[in-house]
Structure 1
């Protein structure tokens, strides 16, 4: 869950940048997961609570715990009215601070590519879930161009500027996910692809949102003025506005689920 390259310190900026995307994909993910009501959930890499809030509204859990390495993100999550009953803890996905068989469901939303050793993260989720419980995740298809802001990243790289990257992007591939779940000894493994679209009010909305990104934002803030102008012009071309002025962007995520053997 930790990375030396990308740090999440602003829950409000993350909400605008990625929280809305997470919920868009999360709705389809939870429909596919089709969980029973009244279960004990663990949200691994819960961040600012965007997905946590949605699962409470849709799944009516008996309890929810959230763990994340960023205290700033957790502080934002604790301010959400819907999450007042959630117990949040600062922690690492590879060393979860919970006893064995504590939960009925463990999920990892948009996190697995940030885990330096994804296999350890999956093994830890399995450990803290009871026999017969579910272990699941969804992640942007980083290797297949499914990241919501991939067009922006591509144009920045085209200018010869390096962009911070997560430590394990390959873990977002469906085949790798399946192998990770199988390697952890999980049963009844399934995968699926999730496609979502998000509409911005206009290019300025998209541009301001990108500046709040923990990966892209600092890069944009330090770019030379001439490079920034070129980048902005290229992005306007790549993201043509509709008649209304709105801009619609698409993204693709991969998901996986499995059961802890009884």
Structure 2
């Protein structure tokens, strides 16, 4: 099991791979955390802007500060939201957020927490950034329990003895670990839930193309001989029960939410 650094710098490839999944979970997540419209939001690890765009559409924020370490992802996000919007794009680290203390009504991480090398430090920064009574929340794939959208590929790679990379803090992705982290940070009204979502691909080929761009499996694909890769592809197809038509794939994410003490 490898947990080397996983970087995302191609906004278009990320959109095909994960941006659409981000929205699938983000919609029920925003309804669940229930922050009132018109607030000031901090989107930590905004990536290519998929979740930021969803924020604008669903909660009508007064302002959003969207932060990501990748200049390329931020460039894609700016282009994505080229219409006037109350968004400030900032390049920065989740463990050293470039925002004033107590300046936000809500701070969120969408599919990010397990990429933060020190999740407790990242959470502490989110907590610092929100005002007393503000909301701190996150959602992340339930990777260790098979909830990742590419779980079928991961299972076949594991069977071959060449497992896919895992995020450096994958252990925090379980519901129990997330809740414990939020409580240890002193957040109040801590609650958790799990969202199961489904995405339809035009066919198996489209699913496979999206997976091939993933930093978690691309290195393994590139290291295989052509016949090995064909065999892997067919085994994944069989595992998913994919035919010649549309393919529905389900995934599962855990979410956690709490409130900063007054």
Deviation of 1:112 (Å):
0.6
C-alpha change, 1:218 and 1:150, in structure 2 (3 Å) is: same
Q: In the aligned structure 2, how far is the partner of 1:103 from the partner of 1:81? A: 21
Name structure 2 gaps, 5 residues minimum: none
Deviation of 1:4 (Å):
4.5
Q: Answer whether contact 2:44 2:68 (CA < 8 A) is retained.
A: yes
Residue equivalent to 2:121: 120
Residue equivalent to 2:112: 111
Q: In the aligned structure 1, how far is the partner of 2:193 from the partner of 2:139? A: 9
Residue equivalent to 2:150: 149
Other structure's SS at 2:43 match: strand
Deviation of 1:222 (Å):
2.9
**TM-score under structure 1 normalisation?**
0.95
Higher mean displacement: 208-217 or 227-236: 208-217
Residue equivalent to 1:257: 257
Other structure's SS at 1:143 match: helix
Q: In the aligned structure 2, how far is the partner of 1:38 from the partner of 1:200? A: 35
C-alpha change, 1:106 and 1:208, in structure 2 (3 Å) is: same
Q: In the aligned structure 1, how far is the partner of 2:204 from the partner of 2:259? A: 43
Residue equivalent to 1:102: 103
Q: In the aligned structure 1, how far is the partner of 2:182 from the partner of 2:82? A: 31
Other structure's SS at 2:176 match: helix
C-alpha change, 1:84 and 1:163, in structure 2 (3 Å) is: farther
C-alpha change, 1:84 and 1:14, in structure 2 (3 Å) is: farther
Cα deviation code 1:180-233 (max 9, x no counterpart):
111111111110010001111111111111111122223213321121011011
Cα deviation code 1:33-68 (max 9, x no counterpart):
111010000000100011110011000000001111
1:1-262 pair list within 5 angstroms: 4-81=4-81, 84-85=84-85, 86-241=87-242, 245-262=245-262
Q: Pairwise CA RMSD of aligned residues? A: 1.4
Other structure's SS at 1:20 match: helix
Q: Answer whether contact 1:211 1:221 (CA < 8 A) is retained.
A: no
Q: In the aligned structure 1, how far is the partner of 2:160 from the partner of 2:222? A: 15
Deviation of 1:83 (Å):
6.5
Other structure's SS at 1:192 match: strand
**TM-score under structure 2 normalisation?**
0.95
Q: Answer whether contact 2:4 2:166 (CA < 8 A) is retained.
A: no
Cα deviation code 1:93-146 (max 9, x no counterpart):
111111110100000110110011101111110000000110000000111111
Deviation of 1:165 (Å):
1.6
Q: In the aligned structure 1, how far is the partner of 2:97 from the partner of 2:45? A: 11
Q: Answer whether contact 2:53 2:81 (CA < 8 A) is retained.
A: no
Deviation of 1:80 (Å):
1.1
Q: How many residues align?
A: 259
